[in-house]
Amino acid sequence: MSELTTARLSVYLRCLESLDASGVNTVSSQGLATQFQLNAAQIRKDLAHFGEFGIRGVGYYVKDLKRHLRQILGLDRSIKVVIIGAGNLGVALADYAGFRLDGFDVVALLDTAREKVGQYSRSGVPIRHARELERLVEREKIDIAVVTVPPDAAQETVDGVVAAGIRAILNFSPVSPRVPPHVKLKNMDLTITFESLSFFLANGHVDP
């Protein structure tokens, strides 16, 4: 299943939540498409991969489809997250309000700096020593590790995360660590993102 498809499922879920909040009961793929600037055929095709959720001549029941999407995305339970690297970015992510709402539970921040261990983030996430990772994973059934350590520590951190049995990693450091095939690694490389924008500024405006 394509990355792009699953990202769109998230978008659809968000659209449906908005419609549901407005009291809308049913929506057609065409309705979704025009309201949220999507492609109707693509919506139908994306959804059809997972079952027949629509009713011909009617569309989709908003609440029904919402529930299906939540389940497909694995959001029908709390997802436990640990953040490794209690620097600016790590702590900011731990305190990011959006997560809690969407069922993501940041269990701990991990770091090796003596003066950070034992502290709490503003929103109350405890900072613990990185060596506790294995124990934490075992006891708390961690689902996702977020890596916000300096680039030269990224690969060893990721290795530790994999060894601890975590199968999904979100990496913010500007390197692409190696992971075994059963582990899903997603890189959020801010430098690449900024350089893309810079490229557009340098070249984008010239084209006819």
Candidate ranges 21-29, 96-104, 109-117, 156-164; the one touching its own copies (CB under 8 A): 96-104
User: Between 91 and 110, whose beta carbon lies closer to its own copies?
Assistant: 91
Residue 16: burial class (beta carbons within 10 Å; 0-12, 13-18, 19+): buried
Distance CA 118, CA 102 (A): 27
Q: Is 88 annotated as a binding residue?
A: yes
Q: Which of its own copies, DNA, none lies near 113, with the C-beta cut-off 5 to 8 A by kind?
A: none
Told to check if 172 binds DNA by CB under 7 A, we report no
Give Cα 51 distance to the centre of its chain: 24
What whole-number distance in Å separates Cα of residue 30 and Cα of residue 49? 18
Q: Choose the contact partner of 197 out of DNA, its own copies, none; CB within 5 to 8 A by kind.
A: its own copies
- In the list 11, 20, 24, 28, the residue contacting DNA (rule: CB under 7 A) is 28
Site residues (CB under 7 A) for DNA, limited to 34-73: 39-42, 44-45, 47-48, 52-60
Contact 30, 42 (CB under 8 A): no
Question: Binding residue per annotation — 89?
Answer: yes
Q: Is 96 in the site for its own copies (CB under 8 A)?
A: yes
Residue 39 lies near its own copies (rule: CB under 8 A): no
Q: Who's near 47: CB < 8 A, 6+ residues apart?
A: 12, 53, 54, 60, 65
CA-CA distances (angstroms) from residue 67 to 8, 57, 62?
16, 21, 9
Does position 186 interact with its own copies (CB under 8 A)? The reply is: yes
Instruction: Give me 194's structure tokens.
Output: 């900024």
User: Which residues from 7-26 bind its own copies, rule CB under 8 A?
Assistant: 7, 9-11, 13-14
Q: Does the footprint of DNA cover residue 22 (CB under 7 A)? A: no
> Which C-beta is closer to DNA: that of 37 or that of 88?
37
Q: Is 85 annotated as a binding residue?
A: yes
Residues in the chain: 208
Binding-site positions for NAD(+) read 85-90
